[in-house]
Amino acid sequence: MSHAAVATTDSLDELAKSERRIDDSFGLASWVAVLGVLLAWAFVKFDATTTPLADPISTTSILSTPLQREQTGMMDLVDRADTAFAAGDIVSPEGDSALHYYQQALQQTPDDGAAQQGFDQVIEYLINEAESAVFLSDWDRARSNAAKILALVPKHKHAREINRRAARLQQVEELIDRAVALYAAGRLTLPANENAATMYQAALELDPGNEAAQQGLESIVQRTIANAESSMYAGKMDQARAYLDRARAINPEAAGVATLEKTNQTWENIQEGLDIKNELLAAAEALQADRLMAPDEPNAFALYSKVLEQQPESEAALRGLELVRNGLVERARTMLAAEDMQATNEHLDAAGRAGADVALIADLRDEADYRQRLIDARAGRFEALYPINTITPIRQNAPAFPRAAPAGSTGSVSLHLTVTESGDVQDVEVINNPPSYFARAAANAVEKWKFEPVMERGRPIPVRVAVKVAFKG
């Protein structure tokens, strides 16, 4: 005999005894009233007795029992909604999705707990879709999902915030793309309002911590200082001052700005040796033309090094070599921000040969390796497959037994999934060949899991994880 049956029998025995006592003490009307109270008590006792028997692996906390929903005529709508959700038909097709059935159920019975929870899960799914789109810079998809949420919940704060963030980040992306194009065209600080520096500064106003914009501005400052210095060596002092003013307007604390006046005095001192002067002029020309090192010929590194062979204490040559090293490092940083790892490492190799700080190069290589790992993860390339028990779960609800599965059936689903550096689950892949209803239920469940980020050398990394989900009817 089931728990439900025992609860019903006990309730009826108590009801019979109550009927006899009430019949002795009251009239027919009183008996009917008390009978109604006892029936309500029996119903509550039945619910309390049967609720613990709910499927322990269900991901949905049932707020209204199947008996209650059946009595209010909601069993069919909620079940159809649950089935559509498990099948991945969450917001489409129109008229036959989980959202549609949950809404229908709530229209008929606004306080139905299961329907409300299902509706909330649909909203959470749309939020996750919108956030994923923002992460992938897919602004149209992010706004589309946010719009779906706002159509359902007009004052939803998270959806509104996603809309604002997507618009802001898209504008930042467009400004940086424009800045890169202007930089490549040599329009670093001129013409006014249509130059790389202006675009990077506008991007930083919207996103103050944007690394690509910060590195771009720093690169512009270094190039402008180099132009000022080379103009000074060529005796074009007005031009040198104009370059210096532009560099100072971007970053008045730049190291080159503070030393440029001193370089002028240094230049006067080296007038004594015409050969050295010519070498410095040639080096400055190479620096201004961005011919920093071999294979470019002639290049600034070789020319400044030649001057130092003749005058080891030449401040102009020492400063020139520093600019070469800075230029190579800034090239590497710019390529790193643009996620061109091959060019980044090539410039770091050159900076190392030029004598750049070893610790700085090591840090930049470490950053390049880390970003390459993120790039590889987005492309589905991983060095190893992590077992699920080696990472720490934050939210890991077991999948519900699919309603489409035959009663008493069993099965298992083997999956590979990516846990991102933020601990979210992406790119779920079923790798065995289970029945489709088990595959859908397992995939839909694990997509909602959340984990503590996997840390490596103090940084969160994306990993590919193997998991097996078992079903038993």
Q: In Å, what is the CA distance from 429 to each residue of 125, 344, 387, 425? A: 18, 33, 15, 11
Q: Which of 232-236, 336-340, 369-373, 466-470 has the highest mean pLDDT?
A: 466-470
pLDDT value of residue 51:
35
Q: Is the pLDDT of residue 16 over 60?
A: no
Q: Helix count (H) and strand count (E) of the chain?
A: 18, 8
> For residues 382 and 426, is the Cβ–Cβ distance under 8 A?
no
User: Do both 83 and 188 map to the same domain?
Assistant: yes
Helix (H, G, I), strand (E, B), or coil: what is residue 415? Answer: strand
Report residue 416's pLDDT band, with 50, 70 and 90 as the boundaries: very high
264 lies in the same domain as 363 = yes
Is residue 79 a part of any domain in this protein? yes
Query: Do 269 and 353 share a domain, yes or no?
Result: yes
Is 303 buried (19+), middle (13-18) or exposed (0-12) by CB count in 10 A?
Answer: buried
8-state DSSP, 402: P
pTM above 0.95, yes or no: no
Residue 70: what pLDDT? 47
Q: Is residue 59 part of a domain?
A: no
**pLDDT above 90: residue 271:** no
**One domain for residues 97 and 190:** yes
* Pair 240, 343 in one domain: yes
Per residue in 318-346, pLDDT (tens digit) is 999 999 999 999 999 999 999 898 999 99
- The partner residues of 454 in beta bridges, in order of sequence, read 461
Q: Which of 75, 131, 85, 83 is nearest to 105 (CA)?
A: 75
In the predicted model, what is the mean pLDDT of residues 126-151? Answer: 93
Classify strands 463-472 and 385-387 as parallel, antiparallel or unpaired. Answer: parallel
Residue 295 has what pLDDT?
87
Whole-number mean pLDDT of the chain?
82
Residue 202 falls inside a structural domain? no
Residue 270 clears pLDDT 60, i.e. is over it: no
Tally the domains of the chain.
4
Domain boundary among 378, 401, 416: 378
Confidence of residue 267 (pLDDT cuts 50, 70, 90): low
Same domain assignment for residues 220 and 343 = yes
Residue 299 in domain? yes
**pLDDT surpasses 70 at 75:** no
Asked if residue 201 is part of any domain, the answer here is no
Q: Enumerate the β-bridge partners of residue 464.
A: 385, 418
* Angle subtended at Cα 132 by Cα 127 and Cα 136, rounded to the nearest 5 degrees: 150
Are both 233 and 354 inside the same structural domain? yes
CA distance 149 to 161: 12
- Please indicate, yes or no, whether residues 369 and 257 belong to a single structural domain of this protein: yes
pLDDT tens-place string over residues 17-38:
434 443 443 333 333 333 333 3
Q: Assess whether 190 and 234 both reside in one domain.
A: no
Which range among 76-85, 224-233, 348-357 shows the weakest confidence by mean pLDDT? Answer: 224-233
How much is the average pLDDT of 453-457? 91
Q: Which of 236-250, 308-322, 417-431 has the highest mean pLDDT?
A: 417-431
Domain that holds residue 276: 210-378
* Statement to judge: residues 360 and 456 lie in one domain: no
In the predicted structure, residue 307 carries a pLDDT above the cut 60: yes
400-409 average pLDDT score: 91
Same domain? 395 vs 358: no
Structural domain includes residue 203 = no
Based on the domain organization, do 190 and 220 belong to the same domain? no
Of 63-67, 222-226, 228-232, 382-386, minimum mean pLDDT range: 63-67
Q: Is residue 60 part of a domain?
A: no
